[in-house]
């Protein structure tokens, strides 16, 4: 008879798996976005040899940016799709189980409220970025193989394409990790709203900060709240990447990364502290909030 105690992380692991079982859109939506883009790119390869020959008139920096553009657009589309999925997942993560009263069953299991909230928070912070990286990388590899076949059939070289993809891969991984950490307080705030709201969690998540910003603008003629919100949503690019980007603002080279600046940014650590507070509040709300 096995008398060993279960590992402390086992309930958390199975809680994460439950979230993936119950929310297939977490991986289906990015996959659909990748397939749609890949289909469009396959059609565009008809004119690829002509476009590559036209790039010969450009300087090396512009050639690099032009070659990397479709791969960057593919990754961006998949990432934006994942962000939308993450937002709506967080809004429904705790609200949904109160709405359908399944919370009564889940509370009967030997999983604490904190473990449940951490499992739900790990989806947008850990699981979804890992899924996006795998899907984006597979999409880019498929695009590269298509391009290689078309260009070789036209007698054109493909070494530059392969070199750019290998350099863009760690940039993609770095960018996903950076934005997951930077957006942690936003996801945690959505979980707080999800644990508290009795209806329309999206409005409760969005309207209070917007109303506060409007009040500040009317009463004091300042925009500190709106600037703070904008900084939290888009500020990761300015903190984690240097000014050494390619043409069209693309970050496609390792020289464009600035991890030391990012890790020393007060905005990162203040955001993570706020995320921790929000998650603690969400766990407490889950313990005492009644089913809807």
More confident residue, 47 or 174: 174
Mean pLDDT over 54-71 rounds to 72
- Tokens representing 187? 């996801």
Which H helix or E strand runs over 272? helix 266-288
Distance CA 128, CA 214 (A): 33
Amino acid 64: pLDDT: 67
Amino acid 263: pLDDT: 92
Q: What would you report as the CA-atom Rg of the chain, rounded to the nearest whole angstrom?
A: 22
pLDDT reading at 30 higher than 90: yes
Mean pLDDT over 200-229 rounds to 91
Residue 156, helix vs strand vs coil: coil
Task: Pick left, alpha or beta for residue 177 (phi over 0 → left; psi -120 to 50 → alpha; otherwise beta).
Answer: alpha
pLDDT band at 283 (very low <50, low <70, confident <90, very high): very high
- For the chain, the average pLDDT equals 84
Amino acid 247: pLDDT: 43
pLDDT band at 75 (very low <50, low <70, confident <90, very high): very high
pLDDT reading at 164 higher than 50: yes
Nearest Cα neighbor of 241 from 256, 231, 263 is: 256
Mean pLDDT over 122-150 rounds to 91
Looking at the chain, the whole-number percentage of residues with pLDDT higher than 90 is 44
pLDDT reading at 77 higher than 70: yes
Mean pLDDT over 266-286 rounds to 94
Mean pLDDT over 139-143 rounds to 91
- Tokens representing 124? 């947008």
Which residue do the tokens 């990790």 mark? 177
Mean pLDDT over 46-73 rounds to 74
pLDDT tens digit sequence for 218-270: 998 888 999 999 999 988 888 888 755 544 445 556 677 888 999 999 999 99
More confident residue, 189 or 169: 189
Mean pLDDT over 171-195 rounds to 94
pLDDT tens digit sequence for 81-128: 999 999 999 999 999 888 888 877 777 778 888 889 999 999 999 999
For 284, residues 6+ apart whose C-beta sits below 8 A from its C-beta are: 113
pTM: 0.87
Amino acid 1: pLDDT: 45
Domain ranges of the chain: 10-288
Amino acid 71: pLDDT: 86
């Amino acid at each position: 008879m096995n008398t060993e105690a279960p590992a402390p992380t086992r309930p958390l692991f199975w809680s994460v798996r439950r979230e993936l079982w119950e929310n297939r859109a977490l991986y289906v939506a990015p996959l659909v976005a990748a397939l749609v883009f890949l289909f469009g790119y396959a059609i565009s390869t008809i004119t690829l040899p002509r476009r590559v020959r036209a790039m010969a008139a450009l300087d090396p920096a512009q050639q690099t940016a032009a070659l990397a553009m479709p791969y960057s657009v593919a990754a961006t589309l998949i990432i934006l799709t994942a962000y939308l999925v993450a937002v709506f997942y967080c809004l429904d993560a705790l609200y949904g189980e109160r709405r359908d009263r399944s919370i009564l069953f889940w509370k009967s299991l030997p999983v604490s409220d904190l473990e449940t909230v951490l499992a739900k928070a790990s989806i947008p912070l850990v699981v979804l970025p890992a899924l996006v990286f795998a899907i984006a990388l597979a999409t880019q590899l498929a695009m590269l193989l298509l391009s290689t076949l078309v260009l070789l059939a036209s007698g054109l070289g493909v070494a530059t394409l392969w070199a750019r993809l290998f350099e863009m891969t760690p940039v993609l991984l770095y960018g996903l990790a950076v934005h997951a950490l930077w957006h942690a307080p936003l996801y945690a705030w959505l979980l707080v709203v999800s644990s508290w709201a009795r209806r329309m969690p999206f409005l409760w998540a969005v309207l209070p900060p917007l109303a506060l910003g409007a009040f500040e603008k009317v009463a004091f003629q300042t925009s500190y709240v709106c600037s703070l919100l904008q900084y939290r949503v888009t500020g990761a690019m300015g903190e984690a990447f240097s000014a050494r980007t390619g043409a069209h603002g693309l970050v496609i080279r390792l020289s464009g990364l600035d991890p030391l600046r990012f890790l020393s940014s007060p905005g990162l650590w203040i955001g993570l502290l706020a995320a921790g507070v929000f998650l603690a509040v969400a766990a407490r709300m889950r313990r005492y909030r009644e089913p809807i």
